[in-house]
Amino acid sequence: MLKSMTGFSRHENQNGELTCKVEIRSVNNRFIDINTRLPKSLAALELPLKKLVKSRCARGSFDISVAIENGEQSGANFEIKPNLPLAAQYLSAFKQIRDDLNLQGEIDINSILSQRDVVKPELKEIDDSSEEIVISTVEKALSDLIKMREEEGANLEEDIIDQVKDIEELGGVIKSRQSTTVQEFQDKLKEKLQTLTNGMELDPARIAQETALLADRCDVTEEVVRLNSHLQQFYKLVEASDPTGRKLEFLTQEINREVNTIGSKTVDIEVSKNVIEMKSRLEKIREQLANIE
**pLDDT value of position 177:** 80
Q: pLDDT > 70: what percent of the chain?
A: 80
**pLDDT value of position 191:** 62
Q: How many alpha carbons lie under 13 Å from residue 128 in its C-beta half-sphere?
A: 0
d(CA 8, CA 141): 9
The domain segmentation of the chain, as residue ranges, is 7-149, 154-289
Cα–Cα nearest to 128, from 55, 77, 65: 77
Q: What is the pLDDT of residues 220-276, one digit of tens each?
A: 888 899 999 999 999 999 999 889 999 999 999 999 999 999 988 777 788 889 999
Q: Is 290 helix (H, G, I), strand (E, B) or coil?
A: coil
Q: CB of 214 within 8 A of CB of 182?
A: yes
pTM of the model: 0.71
Residue 29 predicted with pLDDT over 70: yes
Q: CB of 227 within 8 A of CB of 260?
A: no
**pLDDT value of position 58:** 93
Taking all residues of the chain, what is their mean pLDDT, rounded to a whole number? 85
Q: Residue 148: CB partners within 8 Å, gap ≥ 6?
A: 4, 7, 8, 9
Instruction: Give the model's confidence band at 41: pLDDT under 50 very low, under 70 low, under 90 confident, else very high.
Output: confident
Q: What is the pLDDT of residues 55-90, one digit of tens each?
A: 999 999 999 999 887 755 545 566 777 888 888 998
Q: What are the φ/ψ torsions at residue 30 (nearest 5 degrees)?
A: -65, -30
d(CA 8, CA 148): 7
**pLDDT value of position 267:** 73
Q: What is the pLDDT of residues 126-145, one digit of tens each?
A: 666 678 889 999 999 999 99
Q: According to CATH, what is the number of the domain 154-289?
A: 1.20.140
Q: What is the DSSP letter of 200?
A: P
Residue 42 predicted with pLDDT over 70: yes
